[in-house]
Structure 1
Amino acid sequence: MTAQPAFPNLFQPLSIGGVTVRNRIVSTGHDTTMPTDGTVNDRLVAYHRARAAGGVGLIVCQVTGVHESARYTNHVLMGADEGCIEGFAKLADAVHAEGTTLFVQLFHPGREMTESLDGTAPVAWAPSVSPSERFHVIPRALTLGVIREIVAGYGATAARLQRAGVDGVEIVASHGYLPAQFLNPAVNRREDDYGGSDENRRRFLQEAIEAARAATSPEFVVGLRISGDEMHEGGLTPDISLDAIRSLADKIDYVSVVAGSSASLGGAVHIVPPMYLEPGYVAPFAARVKKAVAVPVIVTGRINQPQEAERIVASGAADMCGMTRALICDPQMPAKAQAGRFDDIRACIGCNQACIGHFHKGHTISCIQHPESGRELSFGTLRPASTRRKVMVIGGGPGGMKTAAVAALRGHEVTLHEAEAQLGGQARLAQLLPRRGEFGGIITNLQNELERSGAQVLTRSRVDRELIEKASPEVVILATGATPLWPSQFHYDGKGQVVDAWQVLQGGVNTGGSVVVADWKGDWIGMGIAELLAERGCHVRLAVNGLFAGELLQSYVRDANAARLHALGVEIIPYARLFGRDEDNVYLQHTASGEAMIIEDVATLVLAQGHSPDTALQDGLGDFEGQLIAIGDCQMPRSCEEAVLEGLRAAWSI
């Protein structure tokens, strides 16, 4: 009897307009921060080639401006002149060579201008003078002349992309960008042919679609991306979006549905939803669309595992699934899934740290688990070691695990020593915070890489100088991590309970009913501990040595956290430097004015003051004759991302 495939629907081909896509997995349009001078470059080609080689069916390349006023970042792709064709042709050739279909997004942000291009604010256009809350932009109303220019730009850019060999275009009406602004009666208050009625508010989008269609041949695909629910007050509702989709369905070859909007903090969380949101949560709206239209439907929103995508496609809710972060985390995910190599798949954990987090900082996107992503030109092809060496890795946190796995795959003889009974380091604590259990996936994923690599792993193995001399390694990689930092300039005589965040997470601490969390770092720890204790019924004050809570977190993660803390009644005190503690009170100092702030009747002070590097072993190896490399927190406490990246680099340097 022939065994049934694990994914009978996910790897079926699908016809979209004049093209056939080999499977139902999509890398949806997402900014990469890779383009330079508005054009496709070798780095972007290598990035998408890696995903095409990994078996993805469809790649939708990131937003491409159709008009000069569409430059919403200084690294946006532009399609407004003939200079774009050469780069897109290289991209199309690279993607097609691997059997993948390529579409490109046609884009205008309207009022959603996210950054200054040269230190001065650009002019932002919108249907009406309707301020954008998130970026504090007050746009000017589009004139009829500029509307005509932008509409013509959709057609002209589509024609250039077809000449470049691209298979189709996707008009971006999602996330509160310009076409969505025209659809939204709260934003579009025009009284001419582009406003005042549902039909008129759809006119701009309809004309953009018609312009792209008229400028290209019949087999060239023209699709639409739209947010079903913009998830904020005054945003597009599912009914408005569905009516717009129905009215335009005979003019498009497919529709791609998402959620959220760039216009507000709450709506923006859904642009790249963090781990707090349920996998596949946009699928119910996609199912409504699927029943209403005859064209294929793509759905995106926290679909990070092939089994989730299979379930959605099998249910009939959608024809294809956007799995962008899953593909950033593991470009080979489709091929692994199709081959039944399920344990080999490196699952995205929805942390948002190095993907959208890098984009928001103006850096090339990557992945904390797979730093090879975005660095394909440097690390895309594993280079075998020229000489096999004996390598000892000390510390089994994420950085140590990555080092050991990559070094072993390169051909070295690798032994990893971990003092505890389990691998994972601080990631084992991170997963204990509310709604962060998925973070523990980084441990599982790296353990799987270790097992496949052939590296030897020894747990409950505490390393000292004697053990190193006995093992006689040629290379020692120190990944010994860090411990909680208790500030030295902290006035405390032992009266009144003081504990650190690790002690709270490890259990056994009775905090009492009134707690102050002193957060120096502004990362996930302070906010997470505050949420944990508030959920237990404590009255929590989160005192932040910064401008706001979660200052170092990716904004969608931070804002989702902030919403929950507000609902739980957590009081947030910014500009707060920890000064001291006595039996009843906690003493803070305003970081700008220096004035005292006193919090009375505090049962427990919880310290989230950062970490101190564990350098004890390193300090004793100053005369080690072999190669000695320190990575991660034992070099300087930072985050999991730096530890894994430094582990990769260390393994390549041997």
Structure 2
Amino acid sequence: MSTRFPHLLSPLQIGSVTLRNRIVSTGHDTVLPVDCQVSPELIAYHQARAQGGVGLIVLQVSGVHESARYTSHALMATDDGCIAGYRALATAVQAAGARVFAQLFHPGSEIMETADGMQAVAYSASRCASERFHVVARALSTAQIAEIVAGYAAAARRIRAAGVDGVEIVASHGYLPAQFLNPRLNQRSDGYGGDAAARLRFLQEVAAAIRAAVDPDCVVGLRISAGECDAEGLTEDEALAACVAMQPALDYVSLVAGTSATLGGAVHIAPPMAYPAAYLAGQAERFRRQLDIPLLLAGRINQPQEAEQLLAAGVVDACGMTRALICDPELPNKVAQDQADAVRACIGCNQACIGRFHRGLPISCIQNPVSGRELQFGQLTPASSARRVLVVGGGPAGMKAAVIAAQRGHRVTLYEAASQLGGQVLLAQQLPGRAEFGGLLTNLHYELQQAGVQVVLGQTVDRALVQQQEAELLILATGARPAPPRLDISGDLQLLDGWAVLQGARPGSRVVVADWRADWVGPGLAIRLAQSGHRVTLAVNATHMGQALQMYVRDQLAAQLHRLQVTIIPYARLYGVDDDTVYLQHTASEEAMLCEGVDTLVLCQPLQPEDGLRQQLAGLPLPIHAIGDCLAPRTAEEAIYEATRLAWQL
């Protein structure tokens, strides 16, 4: 047992349930349910984290009423047919030593989409318009309120009958209970609105109905935002008052921040890496002082040392480390075995976890593609015969392929032409708010060392070297490079590639960033230049800035760009330049758009695969596999997934 994390690894009593440690996988959507029921994939996903040593798993939301279907792939607990699935999941998690709670959920006005693609009829405390999803909700009648309260109780009864250890009422992120609590939204005058006591009535009735429907040993908790981070949202004071009033009916409170109702508030649902670690500690400390029941906290707690500090200071009783556990399900076991340095740290990129959810795809992780694909990959097994494997290229794809191939028993040498490993990540981590992205390399460096991969830097690989090394299998991960721009060029306006800017090139005072990629590179360069005093225009060849990004990352960048007064031009195809003008074409109207008085054009344009070596090696009698950007320029997610999939099969 580790002595570095005595608080994190100590047991915690919540109601009648004892957790083996203070590490929690909090409720999060996975898109793994099938037909709104527990699936084998969802069981395998949570079982992996239970086997990894987590203390508590809180399942994703379970709808309590037909009007609670906020996505087409939400779990539903509205009939007894759900019990068998919950029972199988609970059995698998509990057999591995973890405890499991289920979230009871009604979104109110916050409905994202429906199974048939039609706009849903939404209901709330009062008639309201949801800004984020552009849903206009009807006010619930008192009869409908009673029906939904009964739905909470019936769902709790079913889930408890399945052997789940407890239930959690979701009043966070501006969902239905919070819509009743919020005086700016709740305009009722029938006993469910008015003063604070009346606005609390719905939540009190829900808790009482649940308690009446389950046995005394069933844990009942509340998840709530410690302030919704929006001018019209629930405030920290209002949330705290509700928790204090509800305390007699609860076994614990779980704190988060933000609201689903607005773009700015929704960023806090899964705060990206631009937010500091454990940034809600101050709010949690205030709640801790007024609550006598266990307090859980989630929000950018990605490292075990961060959690240990919060627990040692008495700020909270347990820490939600959800994305950290998506990235490394074995985090608790590693901590307990004094191997905290071996933890694959989450970098808060949001790309393959909640980013995939927002695209309707099952959850995963750019660093750990096995997450969400546990049944597809299974357990890593030794190769049937060890081979001499050469990996060419030391970016994320090459590093990951080398690690897994070596873990399977192959003799692996990784060649990198540059003086250090990392590829484009070395550039990406230099952008404002993206330093943590470099943690991907820190993790891979450690894994290379532990796997025993031989790394050769400053070495260009050619046909002769491959033959000299007597390679039996070759993996090409040589990446991509900026392609020469296809522009009408006249005059001497300074042209710089974005890579050159990050490597020290000095733009003039008035800059246009031509962003074909519509990802984080263009906005990141615009922010960096604006912070340095340049006047910046960001011309995006997409319908909007950050079109390719996960929405919380995009919206956080949008806020920064607006504060820095960066001009953004969407629908902008780069056409040409002269002495001081950048010529753009509107991609829909095809009409000209001019940016005049410009000193420098910074290019964030398509990349070109570095695949010359593959052509040079044609005819060699050995398997050659290309992965990552040298196959097709994309993102780190595809690079690491392809590396994992290939090396898993070698």
* Band the TM-score falls in, shorter-chain normalisation: over 0.9
Corresponding position of 1:363: 361
Which ranges in structure 1 are unaligned for 5 or more consecutive residues? none
Corresponding position of 1:351: 349
Corresponding position of 2:433: 435
Q: Is the 8 A contact 1:230 1:267 kept in 2?
A: yes
Corresponding position of 1:75: 73
Q: Is the 8 A contact 1:486 1:607 kept in 2?
A: no
Alpha-carbon shift at residue 646 of structure 1 (Å):
0.2
Q: Which amino acid aligns with 2:529?
A: L
Alpha-carbon shift at residue 388 of structure 1 (Å):
1.2
Matches within 5 A, 1:216-615: 216-488=214-486, 490-493=487-490, 495-507=492-504, 509-615=505-611
Corresponding position of 1:48: 46
2:37 pairs, out of 39, 45, 48, with: 39
- Where 1:61 maps in the other structure, the secondary structure is strand
Distance 2:649 2:7 in 1: 43
Q: Higher mean Cα deviation, 241-250 or 478-487?
A: 478-487
2:134 pairs, out of 133, 136, 145, with: 136
Distance 2:470 2:364 in 1: 36
Alpha-carbon shift at residue 622 of structure 1 (Å):
2.2
Alpha-carbon shift at residue 653 of structure 1 (Å):
2.5
Alpha-carbon shift at residue 317 of structure 1 (Å):
0.8
How far does the alpha carbon of each residue in 1:540-568 deviate from its partner, in whole angstroms, 9 at most, with x for none? 00000011111101000000001001000
Distance 2:162 2:609 in 1: 52
- Where 1:138 maps in the other structure, the secondary structure is strand
Q: Which amino acid aligns with 2:611?
A: T
Corresponding position of 1:181: 179
TM-score after normalising by structure 2: 0.99
Alpha-carbon shift at residue 493 of structure 1 (Å):
3.6
Alpha-carbon shift at residue 610 of structure 1 (Å):
2.4
Q: Which amino acid aligns with 1:539?
A: R
Distance 1:415 1:513 in 2: 46
- Where 1:26 maps in the other structure, the secondary structure is strand
Q: Which amino acid aligns with 1:505?
A: L
Identity rate, percent: 58
Which ranges in structure 2 are unaligned for 5 or more consecutive residues? none
Corresponding position of 1:147: 145
Matches within 5 A, 1:58-97: 58-97=56-95
Distance 1:494 1:53 in 2: 64
Q: Is the 8 A contact 1:578 1:589 kept in 2?
A: yes
- 1:166 and 2:172 equivalent? no
Alpha-carbon shift at residue 4 of structure 1 (Å):
8.0
Q: Is the 8 A contact 2:508 2:599 kept in 1?
A: yes
Distance 2:503 2:210 in 1: 58
Which runs of structure 1 show a deviation greater than 6 angstroms over 4 or more consecutive aligned residues?
none
Distance 1:552 1:621 in 2: 35
Distance 1:224 1:184 in 2: 16
- Aligned Cα root-mean-square deviation (Å): 1.0
- Where 2:59 maps in the other structure, the secondary structure is strand
- Where 2:117 maps in the other structure, the secondary structure is coil
TM-score after normalising by structure 1: 0.98
Alpha-carbon shift at residue 381 of structure 1 (Å):
0.8
Distance 1:466 1:494, change over 3 A: farther
Distance 1:594 1:102 in 2: 56
Distance 2:506 2:216 in 1: 69
Distance 1:610 1:210 in 2: 58
Distance 2:337 2:300 in 1: 23
- Where 2:130 maps in the other structure, the secondary structure is coil
How far does the alpha carbon of each residue in 1:227-247 deviate from its partner, in whole angstroms, 9 at most, with x for none? 011001200100000000000
Corresponding position of 1:634: 630
